[in-house]
Every structure is written in C-alpha cells, then in structure tokens.
Structure 1
C-alpha cells in the first residue's frame, strides 16, 4: 500500500464545538497534524486581541484549521459522484485545507503590518522548506508539497480546487464565521452551512450553488457583513491592536537606537533587522511575545513600559469617531498639543481605519479580480448571485470604511499645563468617555 492511499486502522475524531466531530482517516492528514509546525498553531489565537473585548475568543488557528479541513472533507464526500470532480485531487484538497493558515505569526495581521510580513508567503515556505510538514507531504510523491503550496498561493492549475479554500464562499470563511461567532458568544455569524454544503456543485473552475440554495447563501453573506462590523472591527479590539502595534514599533525603534534592553530580545532580532529565517519565524508564537511584554513592563523606557502595562492589564486607549476627509486639521492641531503636553503623538494619538467589502462581482481588468458566486439555474444556466438576489445586490461592490482616533484619556487627565489640557479635551470632546471629535 502506498503512503498516498494508506488509511488508519480506524477513523480518528476530534471533538469540535462547531462541527461536532472532525474525522481523520488518511494517514497523511494524521501525520501532518502531529508535526511541530502544525502543533504550533495551538499557540496562535485565531482572533488576535479580540479576547480583550469578547472574553471567550480564546480559540486558536489549530481549531480553525481542523474546521476548514472538516468542511472540505464533507464537500468532497458530497462531490463523490459528480462528473466535474476529479477524485485524484482529494488528498491535495484536504492537505491544503488543513495547512492553509500554517504561516500565521503571533497576533496575525497586526504583527504582519509592523514587520511587513505575509503569512501566505510563510505558509508556502513552511510547506516547501526544511520542515517536518514538507517531509510528510513529500512521502505522497515528489512535488506534492509544491502542489499544496500552489493551491494556497492560488496558482494551482485546477481552479476548482483553489475555490474550495479561497473564494467568496469557501471552507475557510464558512468555518471562521461559525467558529468566531461561537467563541465570541454572538449570533451574527450563524448561517445554515449544512444547507450550503448540500447545494454546492463542482464546475470546471469553481464551486457553484444550486439556485434553490440562494437564501442560505444570502444568510451567509449577511452573516459575514455583521461579523466584520460587530466583532472583527469592534473599536475596543482595535484599541488593543493599536497598542500592540505601537509596542512592536517602539521596541524596534529602541533597538535601532542602540537601546540596552534589560534582557536582549533575541526572538525579535531578526524581525527588527528585516531578515527573518524560517526557523526563527516558526519559533515566535504568542506565548513568547507575551513573555517579552511581561518583561518590558519593567523597562526604563517610559513609552515601552507604559504601552506594555496597558496591553497586559487591558488599560486601553479611548476613541472618538474621526473623518480624515474633513477633520484632518483637528488631528494636526492635536498632534502639536500632544507634543507640547509631553505626549509623543507617534504612540499616543493614532488614526485607525477599517474597511470591508462583503461581496463583489467580477470586474475584468481590476487589480484584484473577484470570482463571484454563481447560482446554477434549473435550466443549467449560471447566474451571478447579485443579479438574482435583491439582498446581495444592495451591498455588492459597496466598500464600507470606518475611522477612529485613539488616545490615552488617563494621560491627558495628568497633563499639568491647564490651557493645553483644556484645549485637547475640547478638541476630543472629552465629557465622560466622549465618542465624537469636535
């Protein structure tokens, strides 16, 4: 028996709160789960700093990756007798689904922005590099790891395979919406996934949805819309992300200035230098980052010490609504006042913007063309979703953006120059907590 077809003596199951059970029968999948690189995902939270807003959001990339694998496994099971489905792609799909988030770093997107990293790049590097994951994948056949990396990089020749993991209605999105809703305790992310899986059909280059399942897809699209604005872009979570980002910026700046840390941050050095080796990247997880943040609460540098103490003890920045288009003069005036008050505006006055495009249709020639969701009509014709659904049409192509201005209210209260303090509070409209810039 070849490794590609080798099965476990019995089906192994992971008890899962979202899918009830995650089933593993393939020896390859079982061995991939056991690799150090995949086990590392237990130490990377799925939602970064969201647990400081929704205290239940402690789930990991490990949870989510198993969930995406399970959804793809079920989809493939449903496709078994479909003429457009190539059964030889089964193990490739399952492997790519399981490993799609392998390269996420601590606190994911916030960490990436500071150090100009790309988790998909590192996912591919882990799959193709000198790792246990690569060794396991190559047991299937030479070049199998490259195929998995190509699926994740969206360059694999079979676009149907890619669409299962990366499209506007893929296993990744379906799992994280349901999982994140469960762990945050909200109902916005709920939708009828079982119904969607039943009406999915494989076509030549993408998965389509039987027209009878349109309302389930509408529910999915609206769930995604609500989750982004009620959970993912929650202003308190963004406050924590702002502080996290500023901690990393400050530590990097101090290192570049030759600052003597009480304990040399050896795990960060390659990130500060912008030359990160794969083995160094893999070693850095959230437990290591928290360790340094804990230490940095005792540093001599006032800003680093304060920011770390805020993050570790959830003393977050306050915020006001802000419109960069019409209120930038207010920001510039506040910037000067913060300097005069002895508050470094680079760290204590931060504009944060979030935007989302819940659904879009195909626009040829655009930089990031989006493959739309197609409905399979009774006569065999394909119709783009927003052409059939008034609900989806109402939000198609509409990018919503939200801006907030974050600041430390407690430090403003300590400003000793009363005219400056009064002017800052007036511009921020600080009355109690305040929520609008003047």
Structure 2
C-alpha cells in the first residue's frame, strides 16, 4: 500500500468544542499534525488582539485548522462520496490543503504584516515547498504533491471544485471560524445550521452548489458572518489594541534603524527590520516571544516604546472617536497640530484606522475583485445566483460596510502637564467631530 493510502491502525480523534470530534484516519494527516510547523500554530491566536475584549478568545490557528480539515473531511467522505461529479483521487489533496491553509500566519498576523510588510500566503508556500518537516511529509505522497497543495491554497489549482471547498463565499474555512469564534467569544451571532448546509452541498465542475431547499440555511450563514464582522472582528476596542500593537512594532523598527541602544536587544526581530527574513526566522517567531519582549520593553528608556508596551500588556488602550480624516481633513489636521502643542507625538498617539467588509458579493461581469457567488441548484437542474432568489441576501449583496475611527489616549484630558485651555480645545474638537 502506498503512503498516500495508508490508514492508521486505530483512528485518532481530537475532542473539539465546535465539532465534538475531529477524526483522523489517514497516516499523512496524522504525520502533518505532528510536524514542527503545524504545532507552531498552537502559539498563534486565531483572533489576534480580540482576547483583550472577549476574554475567552484564546483559541489558536491550530484549533481552527483542525476544524477546517474536519468539515472538508465530512463533505468529501459523507456528502460527495460516490457522486459522479466528485473525483475521489482528489480527496487527500483537499484534506491536506484544508489542514495547512493557515500554515504561514505570523504572530498577531495582520498587525505584524502591516509593519514588516510580510505576507502569510507567501510564507505558507515557503513552508510547503521549503526544507521543512511539512514538505518532507508531503513529498512522501509524491514529488509534485507539495506544489499541488500550495496551488489549492493559492486558488490556482485547475480543479475549481477542490479550491471552492477551501476558498469561496461558502467554504470550510468560513464555516469553521464563524462558529469557533462565536463559541470562544461567547456570542450567539456566528451560529448557523452547518449540518444542514453540508447535507445540501453538491459537487459541480465549477464549484460547490447548494440545493434550493437549503437556501434558508445559507441565508442564516451569511447573516451570521455579517453580524460577526460588525460585532467581533471590527470591535473598536479590539482595533484599539491592534493600533497599540502596530505602533509598538513601528516604534521598535524606527529605534532599530536609528541604532538605539536597547536594554533588551530585539534579536528575533532584526532580520524583519532589515528585510532579509529567512524561513527559519519566520517559523521561530511566535506570540509568546513577542509578548515576552513587550514585557522587557516596558523597562526601556525610550518613553514612547515604554508607554505603548505598558498600554498593551496592562490593557490601557486608546479611546476612539468616529472621525473620517478623508471627509474632515481640516479637523484631523487641527488635532495633529494641537497634539504637537501638547507635547504628544500624533504619529503614535493620534491614529486613524478603517475597516471594511463585503458580506456577500454577487456576479458583476468585468468588475475586478468580484468574488464567485453562491449558486442554488434548482429543482429543474438549473443554477441560480443566490441573491436572485433570496430577498435577505439581495438586501446586503455588494454593499461594503466601511467604518472610520481615530484613536487617542484618553488620559490627555486629565493630564495637568498640558494647559487646561489646550486640553479643552482638543476635547471639544474630538466631541464635535
């Protein structure tokens, strides 16, 4: 029996709060889970700084990756198996892609990428194809197998059906993170009838379609996603924490460039500052190391770095106001001038942040960036785009929700080192914005 077809002598299971059990029967999957690179995902939080708002949100990308694998396993082993449109020879490929799709995420992923201009998708490919334990396992299947897995994750694999299971507007990735994030944050928004959706999924050459009878379950799923983005992923306090985190890294990068004499030399970050990051450097850095350095830098002489680290570690975050600098540039510019007069560096302490999301995208020919829509399989065998049949989805389809906020330290209103008249002027400008 080839390695690709080898089964474990006894099925392994992971007890999971979302899916109850995650089942592993394939030797390849079990070997991938045990690799150094996959185990590293235990030390990367799924929701970044959100744990500072929802205290239960301590779950990791390891949890999530297993969950995505389990959803795909159920689809291909239970729903698709035996259907003429599904090629079972693609089974192991899509399972591996599901398990490994987040492999390249770094610590506090999005904030980290913004400052150091890294790309988790690039590093996912490097881990899959480089000199890693993951690559060694995948190559045992076939020499070209690591490349095929990378193509599925990058959405360049020629079989659209395989790609759609991992990345589409109704895929295993979204179905897991919505439920998992809802569970760990303690909210009800992200729950939907996943079992029903999986039962009405049908394989087609151009991707997964949903039986017409399952439309209401899909509506619930889309509204769940809509609410999770508004209430959890874009929560203003979580964004405040990410702003502080962003500016800690930004400050360290500036200090390093100016040869600042650190008391605690940022050795794990040096290659990131210099732009010559090796794969080993990337894999070695995780959130536990970053948090340790934040603790160290609370004792640095640089006032800005010391203050930002204390804010993050002790959750003394920035306040916010609903201000869009693009619509009110004169207000934002005046605030910057007043902050400078008060001796507060607006580069680090007056920060604009915006978020946006598209809850559902419909088919718009010729429009760049249009996402492939969800299709319903009608009783007559024809396919209809979801928003053509659902009034609920039609109401939000194609509508991008954008939110602008400006973050600042609220203590400036009570800081007696700043003249009272100046404090009042800043406060009035913020309140009127």
TM-score range, shorter chain: over 0.9
- The SS at the match of 2:369 is coil
Query: Which has the higher mean CA deviation after the structures are superposed, 66-75 or 368-377?
Result: 368-377
1:106-126 CA distance string (max 9 Å, x none): 001111111111111111110
Counterpart-to-counterpart distance in 2, 1:367 and 1:295: 46
1:79-107 CA distance string (max 9 Å, x none): 00111000000000000000000000000
Q: Does 1:67 align with 2:67?
A: yes
Deviation at 1:324, TM superposition (A): 2.9
Counterpart-to-counterpart distance in 2, 1:41 and 1:167: 23
Corresponding residue of 1:247: 248
Counterpart-to-counterpart distance in 2, 1:8 and 1:326: 61
Corresponding residue of 2:76: 76
Corresponding residue of 1:144: 145
Corresponding residue of 2:285: 284
Matches within 5 A, 1:305-324: 305-324=306-325
Query: Which has the higher mean CA deviation after the structures are superposed, 407-416 or 158-167?
Result: 407-416
Counterpart-to-counterpart distance in 1, 2:211 and 2:268: 50
Deviation at 1:285, TM superposition (A): 0.3
Q: Which 5+ residue runs of structure 2 have no aligned equivalent?
A: none
Corresponding residue of 1:225: 226
Matches within 5 A, 1:163-242: 163-242=164-243
- The SS at the match of 2:21 is strand
Q: Does 1:420 align with 2:422?
A: yes
Counterpart-to-counterpart distance in 2, 1:416 and 1:324: 25
Displaced runs of 4+ in structure 1, greater than 3 A?
none
Deviation at 1:322, TM superposition (A): 1.1
- The SS at the match of 1:253 is helix
1:385-409 CA distance string (max 9 Å, x none): 0000000000000001011111001
Deviation at 1:142, TM superposition (A): 0.9
Counterpart-to-counterpart distance in 2, 1:82 and 1:208: 13
- The SS at the match of 2:13 is strand
Corresponding residue of 2:49: 49
Corresponding residue of 1:357: 358
2:11/2:24 contact within 8 Å kept: yes
1:359-381 CA distance string (max 9 Å, x none): 00122333323110000000000
Deviation at 1:416, TM superposition (A): 2.4
Deviation at 1:323, TM superposition (A): 2.6
Q: Which 5+ residue runs of structure 1 have no aligned equivalent?
A: 430-436
- The SS at the match of 1:207 is strand
Counterpart-to-counterpart distance in 1, 2:414 and 2:332: 19
- The SS at the match of 2:268 is coil
CA RMSD of aligned residues (A): 0.8
1:187-226 CA distance string (max 9 Å, x none): 0000000000000000002000000000000000000000
Counterpart-to-counterpart distance in 1, 2:364 and 2:267: 47
Q: Does 1:89 align with 2:90?
A: yes
Counterpart-to-counterpart distance in 1, 2:189 and 2:47: 16
- The SS at the match of 1:14 is strand
Counterpart-to-counterpart distance in 1, 2:261 and 2:306: 14
Counterpart-to-counterpart distance in 2, 1:254 and 1:68: 40
Corresponding residue of 2:133: 132
Counterpart-to-counterpart distance in 1, 2:276 and 2:402: 33
- The SS at the match of 1:326 is coil
Counterpart-to-counterpart distance in 2, 1:240 and 1:278: 28
1:327-373 CA distance string (max 9 Å, x none): 22111001001011110000000111011000001223333231100
Corresponding residue of 1:433: none
- The SS at the match of 1:322 is coil
Equivalences, count: 431
- The SS at the match of 2:283 is helix
Counterpart-to-counterpart distance in 1, 2:319 and 2:418: 20
2:324/2:406 contact within 8 Å kept: no
Deviation at 1:140, TM superposition (A): 0.4
